[in-house]
């Protein structure tokens, strides 16, 4: 079992200290969220709350996850970083490949790319990307990213993206793993088709179990039953030592958590208190796995 620290919605000035403390007390990774901007109005429901509302405000701090990974990578040595998840639909994959290449090199290979389509029409349209046919466009963008990141002189001629022979150097020191987010059947099939794992948003335990069972069935159908595959989970109703062991029993390989939440500390709480929560979590939970 691996444990990943989420830094979502925390003050950016806390990131370096949180990363160093997480590394010291046994966390394997840092999960980096993605939000481009807060639009005053939005023309689609947020898919991961019961009423479709956003649970953050225009004042909530966000960092570009690739910039954050580079900054935290500079003050750590072993802990890894991955986006959970980056909204690919509103981004150009060639430009993104340049950024990922850089982060992977600067962190000496300690970076994984969690990808989702994105849900807000405004994020697509205001960044110059079409909201229509977004799934097909993202599928092609993933192909472009994999092609460039694997190194060498490459070219691509698709429906949405087209370029002649190019190479980006340096090639990442090791293959950048891809993780796909999303709870729909389309997203699960995408994860099985192109990814090294799947990353959940907030889910109840029973829903998480059903989703992992579905993914395993899809992996078997696609001849991948024996392939390594990560299940990164944000479970909202099973915690503590027994709860985390129960998650492991249903197949979760990586638990994404914020230890200070269990101690009643908010996102804007004191840095020292958050560090103390990380230490306690490492001593009481991680050390027992």
Spell out the domain ranges in the chain.
Answer: 2-288
The three-state secondary structure class of 235 is: strand
Q: How high is the pLDDT of residue 238? A: 97
In whole angstroms, what is the distance from residue 1 CA to residue 7 CA?
20
Q: How high is the pLDDT of residue 256? A: 98
Q: How high is the pLDDT of residue 94? A: 98
Per the listing, tokens 């639009």 go with 39
Q: What H or E segment, with its residue span, contains residue 82?
A: strand 80-83
The three-state secondary structure class of 188 is: helix
The three-state secondary structure class of 122 is: helix
CB 84 within 8 A of CB 31: yes
CB 194 within 8 A of CB 180: yes
The one-digit pLDDT tens for each residue of the chain (289 residues) are: 999 999 999 999 999 999 999 999 999 999 999 999 999 999 999 999 999 999 999 999 999 999 999 999 999 999 999 999 999 999 999 999 999 999 999 999 999 999 999 999 999 999 999 999 999 999 999 999 999 999 999 999 999 999 999 999 999 999 999 999 999 999 999 999 999 999 999 999 999 999 999 999 999 999 999 999 999 999 999 999 999 999 999 999 999 999 999 999 999 999 999 999 999 999 999 999 9
Q: How high is the pLDDT of residue 31? A: 98
In whole angstroms, what is the distance from residue 157 CA to residue 136 CA?
15
Q: How high is the pLDDT of residue 128? A: 97
CB 145 within 8 A of CB 100: yes
Q: How high is the pLDDT of residue 215? A: 98
131-134: Cβ within 8 A, 24+ apart: 131/89, 134/89
In whole angstroms, what is the distance from residue 30 CA to residue 10 CA?
13
Residue 89 has a CB neighbour count (10 Å cut-off) of 21
Q: How high is the pLDDT of residue 266? A: 95
pLDDT digits (tens, 9 = 90+) for 163-178: 999 999 999 999 999 9
Q: How high is the pLDDT of residue 232? A: 98
pTM, to two decimals: 0.96
User: Out of 3.40.120.10, 3.20.20.30, 3.40.50.300, 3.40.50.1970, which CATH number does the structure's domain 2-288 have?
Assistant: 3.20.20.30
Among 227, 245, 244, smallest CA distance to 235 is for 244
Q: How high is the pLDDT of residue 239? A: 95
In whole angstroms, what is the distance from residue 106 CA to residue 168 CA?
15
């Amino acid at each position: 079992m691996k444990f990943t620290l989420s830094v979502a919605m925390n003050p950016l000035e806390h990131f370096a200290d949180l990363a160093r403390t997480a590394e010291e007390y046994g966390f394997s990774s840092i999960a980096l969220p993605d939000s481009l901007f807060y639009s005053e109005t939005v023309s689609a429901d947020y898919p991961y709350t019961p009423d479709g509302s956003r649970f953050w405000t225009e004042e909530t701090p966000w960092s570009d996850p690739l910039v954050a990974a580079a900054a935290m990578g500079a003050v750590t040595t072993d802990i890894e970083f991955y986006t959970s998840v980056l909204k690919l639909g509103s981004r150009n994959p060639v430009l993104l490949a340049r950024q990922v290449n850089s982060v992977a090199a600067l962190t000496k290979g300690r970076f994984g790319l969690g990808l989702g389509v994105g849900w807000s029409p405004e994020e697509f349209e205001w960044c110059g990307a079409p909201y229509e046919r977004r799934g097909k466009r993202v599928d092609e963008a993933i192909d472009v990213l994999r092609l460039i990141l694997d190194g060498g002189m490459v070219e691509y001629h698709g429906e949405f993206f087209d370029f002649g022979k190019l190479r980006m150097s340096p090639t990442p020191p090791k293959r950048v793993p891809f993780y796909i987010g999303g709870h729909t059947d389309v997203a699960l099939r995408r994860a099985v088709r192109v990814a090294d794992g799947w990353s959940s948003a907030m889910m109840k335990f029973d829903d998480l179990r059903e989703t992992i069972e579905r993914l395993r069935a899809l992996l078997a159908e696609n001849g991948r039953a024996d392939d390594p595959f990560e299940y990164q989970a944000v479970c909202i109703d099973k915690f503590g030592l027994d709860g985390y062991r129960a998650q492991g029993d249903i197949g979760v390989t990586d638990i994404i958590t914020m230890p200070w939440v269990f101690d009643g500390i908010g996102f804007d709480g004191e840095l020292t208190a958050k560090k103390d929560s990380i230490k306690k979590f490492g001593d009481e939970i991680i050390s027992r796995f």
